[in-house]
Amino acid sequence: MKMRIFYETLKNELDTMGIQYTPEQMGLCEAYFRLVAETNTHTNLTRITGEADAARMHFGGALYLFGMMDLPKGCRVIDIGTGAGFPGIPLKLFRPDISLTLLDASGKKTEFLDRAAAGLGIDVAVLRARAEEAARTALRDSFDIALSRAVAPLRMLLELCVPFLKTGGTLAAWKGESYDQELEDAKNAMSALDCTLHNCRSVGCGAVLLIEKQKPTQDTYPRRFSKIKNQPL
């Protein structure tokens, strides 16, 4: 299968964002997209499988983060509810120095991630766990950056993600077109979890929000998932 459209669209995205790349990195992106698309024919991983859409939304959208913040060399990053590895894996392909943990509750997804990491030869930690439970282990307060796309409304997402961050760490949340409303609805959650909105830039029809954790998270958070969902902060 030749993937000219994927390749050309991705190249165009990278050039527009001013991101440097090597032929090896392009090859890894293609190999990864191929694995996602092939697996998706029998195991539901993603709705976006067209070459141009995938290059733009799965890869370009993820890499947009590079233009918004500096990722310190070797920083600890966790992708919460990563699914087939988005946005975490595209970031890792262009910044192999980051220490990346991919977390998802679904065994189907983590099995795919283990295979993809081995196939691509990338060093990532794959963890099958629920975020609200993993946040009560040694992973709490231990990451510089948490990433998340398409997992939960912002007010719930904050409770699922912020406990993983060190104080001063950043949550990068990829949000859809109703991000303004989500921000409005998340005011109380932001204050309960001692967070502030640091930056917000539109990308496609949504936005990437950067949210900073100002203080250690209170022991009461995260609550059980039923509470997070039925009585969101």
The residues that touch ligand SAH, with contacts defined as CB under 6 A, are 46, 81-83, 86, 103-106, 109, 130-132, 149-151, 160
Amino acid in position 183: L
Indicate the residue among 81 and 232 with the shorter CB distance to ligand SAH. 81
Q: Which is it for the CA torsion 62, 111, 153, 141, positive or negative?
A: negative
Question: Shortest Cβ distance from residue 105 to ligand SAH (Å)?
Answer: 4
Indicate the residue among 22 and 230 with the shorter CB distance to ligand SAH. 230
Question: Shortest Cβ distance from residue 147 to ligand SAH (Å)?
Answer: 8
Indicate the residue among 130 and 140 with the shorter CB distance to ligand SAH. 130
Question: Phi/psi class of residue 168: alpha, beta or left (left: φ > 0; alpha: ψ in -120 to 50)?
Answer: left
Indicate the residue among 25 and 40 with the shorter CB distance to ligand SAH. 40
Contacts of 226 (CB under 8 A, 6+ apart): none
Cα–Cα separations (whole angstroms), residue 233 to 81, 113, 136, 155, 193:
20, 31, 19, 6, 9
Cα–Cα separations (whole angstroms), residue 108 to 70, 82, 104, 105, 127:
33, 12, 9, 9, 12
